[in-house]
Amino acid sequence: MAEHGIRADADTPLTLHPLVYLEDGGEVTIGRPDTDSYAIFPPDGARLVRRLAEGDTPAQASDWYAAEYGERADVQDVVDALRELGFVREDGEEAGAPEQLRWQRLGRALFSPLAWVCYAAIVAWAALRMIRSPDLVPTAQDLLFSDYYAVISVVLLIAAVPLIAIHEAFHALAARRLGVRSRTRMSYRFYFLVVETALDGLVAVERRRRYLPIMAGMLADCVLIALLITVADAARGPGGADTLTSRVCLALAFAAVLRLLWQFFLYLRTDVYVLITTMLGCVDLHTTSIRLLRNRVLRLLGRTGRLADESLFHPVDRRAARWYSWLIVVGYTVSLGTFVLALAPVLVQMVSGAVDRFGAGQQASWVGLLDSSVFLFLTFAQLALTIWIAVRERIRERRSRPHHVIA
């Protein structure tokens, strides 16, 4: 750090909000849990922040740094960064205090040893029933549980709300049991409309304790799929005959299986992606991998003048991106394959069936026409919603400022 001069307030101590510090992999994460504002500092920078937090003036902190490391630090740059991050308590501002989180007891109960035994028993029973009755294995054809397409769409749409809510609730409760706040918002990934739970405070939690909050949603999906299969099995008629209840449960189970499989499409920044980046200690593996792929394409085209400077990538990201970037290509391929082979045939069958009713003339009943109208409206409304969210996200990304990281 090169010194550019200390301003006139160098002899005035700073008042900082309560901060948390986490040393991990040669770096230190510092943040305010009450506002979910965090930044990564080198060890010497983190020690400098600690001196300021303990009451040293900027001038005293600069003298300490020079005596400790043999060079002057640009303390004013550090102070500016702390203000930008909201770490400095300005005049008249109340001291930040961690929010008293609700549902922490429920979070501890949901991930207690007894709960894990129950989850294992539910999944094991469903797996046993599928082995004995292969027709209980959810498939794409299970989505066609009714002759009325609008009914199928509405049931799947309504049922998806509590199923997704449970998935996100498991993320949030697994984190809240550690005292980490959560926020939920709607977003999109490729052609998927998704709901995200932001757990920014996990960056200040010991790495091995982050894994459960990250994977808790997939745990919820597995348990829900097992429960739906169990209910479908119990609801079948004599001799294993299908009933409306069993068909609906298998349809919902298949939809949940798709959401579970999508977690392995790593290019989507899914739960599995977050797990991998957490285990490797990456900063932004996705962006680095995309830029590395782009560089490879540009080299093949001979357009080397537009290459991104790979030396600017975080070293951990750069090493992992060499192999992870190929998983992005595989992920897109598998995603398109899943859509074409599993979802598209059913969707085409439903859309063509709905459209055909309008060409049936007097043979079409008003109920069938109403069903087709509602189904087509819901189908294209969901597509429009996905496009709108994608545009909104792109605008938000352009307006957002990058996180301040002191290097």
pLDDT in tens, 248-258: 999 999 999 98
* Residues 255/143, Cβ–Cβ less than 8 Å: yes
**Predicted pLDDT at 304:** 81
Q: Per-residue pLDDT averaged across 151-163, rounded? A: 87
* Residues 88/187, Cβ–Cβ less than 8 Å: no
Structure-token pair, residue 295: 């560089």
- The per-residue pLDDT for range 57-91, each reduced to its tens digit, is 888 888 898 888 888 888 888 888 888 888 888 76
Q: Look at 204 and 55; give whichever has higher pLDDT.
A: 55
Q: Which of 174-178, 289-293, 304-308 has the lowest mean pLDDT?
A: 304-308
Burial class (CB in 10 A: 0-12, 13-18, 19+), 237: exposed
How far is residue 94's CA from residue 85's CA, in Å, rounded to a whole number? 16
Q: Tell me the one-letter amino acid at 372.
A: S
Q: Which of 48-52, 218-222, 395-399 has the lowest mean pLDDT?
A: 395-399
Q: Tell me the one-letter amino acid at 337.
A: G
**Predicted pLDDT at 368:** 77
pLDDT at 206 over 80: yes
Identify the band that residue 406 occupies on the pLDDT scale cut at 50, 70 and 90.
very low
pLDDT at 305 over 70: yes
Place of tokens 């010497």: 44
Instruction: Residue 79: name the closest of 16, 154, 18, 23 by CA.
Output: 16
**Predicted pLDDT at 180:** 82
- The per-residue pLDDT for range 218-243, each reduced to its tens digit, is 999 999 999 999 999 999 988 888 99
Positive/negative CA dihedral, 378, 383, 384, 388: positive
Beta-bridge mates of residue 193: 188
How far is residue 147's CA from residue 152's CA, in Å, rounded to a whole number? 8
Q: Per-residue pLDDT averaged across 253-264, rounded? A: 89
How far is residue 289's CA from residue 267's CA, in Å, rounded to a whole number? 9
pLDDT at 112 over 90: yes
**Predicted pLDDT at 135:** 93
pLDDT at 191 over 60: no
Q: Per-residue pLDDT averaged across 2-9, rounded? A: 47
**Predicted pLDDT at 281:** 83
How far is residue 239's CA from residue 186's CA, in Å, rounded to a whole number? 43
**Predicted pLDDT at 221:** 96
pLDDT at 199 over 90: no
How far is residue 390's CA from residue 187's CA, in Å, rounded to a whole number? 7
Give, as one character, the DSSP assignment of residue 192. Answer: E
**Predicted pLDDT at 363:** 63
* Residues 32/19, Cβ–Cβ less than 8 Å: yes
Q: Per-residue pLDDT averaged across 114-134, rounded? A: 96
How high is the mean pLDDT of the chain? 83
pLDDT at 183 over 90: no
**Predicted pLDDT at 2:** 40
How far is residue 192's CA from residue 335's CA, in Å, rounded to a whole number? 10
- The per-residue pLDDT for range 322-358, each reduced to its tens digit, is 999 998 888 888 888 877 887 788 888 888 888 887 8
Structure-token pair, residue 211: 């894994």
**Distance from the Cα of residue 327 to its chain's centroid:** 18
Identify the band that residue 9 occupies on the pLDDT scale cut at 50, 70 and 90.
low
Q: Per-residue pLDDT averaged across 369-395, rounded? A: 78
Residues 6 or more apart whose Cβ sits within 8 Å of residue 367: none
Give, as one character, the DSSP assignment of residue 203. Answer: G
Q: Look at 403 and 235; give whichever has higher pLDDT.
A: 235
What are the backbone angles phi and psi of residue 134, rounded to the nearest 5°? Answer: -60, -20
pLDDT at 210 over 70: yes
